[in-house]
Amino acid sequence: MDGQVPELVREDAARPDADWWRGAVIYQIYPRSFQDSDNDGIGDLAGITSRLPYIASLGVDAIWISPFFKSPMKDFGYDVSDYRDVDPMFGTLADFDALIAQSHDLGLKVMVDLVLSHTSDQHAWFQESRTSRDNAKTDWYVWADPRPDGTPPNNWLSIFGGPAWQWSVEREQYYLHNFLSSQPDLNFHNPDVVDALLDVTRFWLERGVDGFRLDTINFYFADKALRDNPALPPERRNANIAPSVNPYNHQEHLYSKNQPENIGFLRQFRAVLDEYPGAAAVGEIGDAQYGLKLLGEYTRGTDRVHMCYAFEFLATEALTAARVREVFDTVDAVAGDGWACWAFSNHDVARYATRWNLDERARRLHLLLLLSLRGSVCLYQGEELGLEEADIAFEDLQDPYGIEFWPRYKGRDGCRTPMVWTNSNLNGGFSDARPWLPVSPAHLAKSVAAQDEDMMSDLNFYRRALAWRKANPALVTGDMSKVKAKDGVVSFVRQCAGQRLFCAFNLSDAAATINLPEGAWTAIGRSLGTAEGGGGTGSPAHLGPWQAIIAEDRREEG
């Protein structure tokens, strides 16, 4: 099927209505590692365009492309030096225009990763801002005087380790950086900064993008008074955002992010999107304590962003039935009027097959669960191949985060290795040159070519599962009942006009039995390995280890 797009996908993937994003499945592309077209060892936009038919064949609705803007690449594109141009290693604006056109021809929406909270220190804005305290952009970034003893103005910490403040000899002041010291934070309290960023947003919308993934959406504003963050008690610490070895986990980040002014900016941002019918945005919320609460606040109503994702399902903690119920109990309490976008993997966390130590049965069950939850879905490149985390030697590391905390934390390179298209050469069909990260030998046997014609492969299971979700509207946009968890089984009902589905997933190694709720049920989805069963209210359904049952209520038939 590589390169061949079924007519069903062509017709269904592009939804003409403004709500196309609601329940959409979005495929994340990490451009450095997807496909190299010019054999320099780094993926590029032309490489992505050449593989778009493959992406369309999966049955996804949209692609999200991680940053490809001009950048010194200290954080691999998340440090932008020019928001309005493509970095030469990825190609040109003409290459991007060609990607947009081909995507739309295939029925795929295109979302680009917009990094607004900070820039590179090589950006022209910062280069001017740092020259003096009285230039035209003097307060475009968060600058502060030192304390009387010369130390930073407060106790804020960087996610990448150490203080969140860097000394500037030019201004004899500190500037804020929540990430690398080469990633200074913009000052969103300055309306000129906001206007400039909204102009950047319009620039890409005018080029035809269908929306944005907003990096670190809760980091836009810092407390204007620069108050110290309080300590976080050990019992409240977790490693959802930063590894446990990082002292960042020792603070409650009340003032360095999550500020109430953020809502006002999101309203301005949404107003710009609404100028372009069908444009949508998904925000990344990086917060270990308040992620779901912020998800509710940022997506409530119709004047903020359309959807957000938090890190609850990107955590190291295994996805037990009790954990799923706990997450959705919280969603019901603080984000019931919002819209989530769920993901199990992305470019910042270990691949979930490794993170949760899942075999093939468990991986497939997790996919069915992900596709059955209320919300939209993000899939990360290679996830459909069943790829596990690659083992990267220290001398091959590129990620500054991993280099800083090695060996207790190995960084993010293990999930960023090149996509494997074929097992016929050492680079997996990604490039004829030495790749920027080594291709994992273990990945070669799971290449697209190796799985494409095998109907029992992970790849074709993904294709069937995505087509099945699309064929059942209750799974795409339906309401979701209160989540239940018992004996390792998580269950709920999805319902929309004309369809009612009962979904149960045995997230354990032991067989389980669950009683069907009120209704007249017929099991569906058997081609996906779901359990047989059905019957009236209270009928038992027997689930093997790592098996689901999806049943449709057909009381209205006959």
Measured CA to CA, the distance from residue 355 to residue 370 in angstroms comes to 16
Residues 6 or more apart in contact with residue 186 via CB below 8 angstroms = 116, 117, 118, 119, 125, 140, 141, 142, 193, 197, 220
Residue type present at position 104: H
Count, residues in the chain: 558
Residue 113 pairs with which residues in a beta bridge? 213
User: Could you confirm whether 275 is annotated as catalytic?
Assistant: yes
Contact 243, 408 (CB under 8 A): yes
**Contact, 1 vs 452, CB < 8 A?**
yes
DSSP code, position 281? E
- What values do phi and psi take at 143, rounded to 5? -105, 150
Region of 278 on the Ramachandran plot (φ > 0 left; ψ -120 to 50 alpha; else beta): left
E strand intervals along 30-171: 62-65, 69-70, 82-86, 109-114, 143-144, 165-168
Number of other residues whose CB lies within 10 A of the CB of residue 334: 16
Give 308's contacts (C-beta < 8 A, 6+ positions apart): 217, 282, 283, 284, 285, 294, 295, 298, 299, 338, 339, 340, 341
| Cα dihedral 137→142→144→146 (10° resolution) | -120
Q: CA geometry: angle at 424 spanning 421 and 427, to 5°?
A: 60
Residue 215 annotated to the active site:
yes
Active-site residue among 105, 275, 396, 432?
275
Question: Are 453 and 460 a contacting pair, CB within 8 Å?
Answer: no
Q: Is 24 helix (H, G, I), strand (E, B) or coil?
A: coil
Task: List the one residue out of 110, 114, 113 whose CA is nearest residue 56.
Answer: 110
Q: In 439-489, which ranges are continuous DSSP H helix?
A: 441-444, 448-452, 458-471, 473-477
Quote the Cα angle for 358-490-375, to 5°: 85
- The amino acid sitting at 276 is Y
Number of neighbouring beta carbons within 10 Å of residue 395: 5
The single residue of 215, 284, 348, 413 carrying the catalytic annotation is: 215
Residues carrying an active site annotation: 215, 275
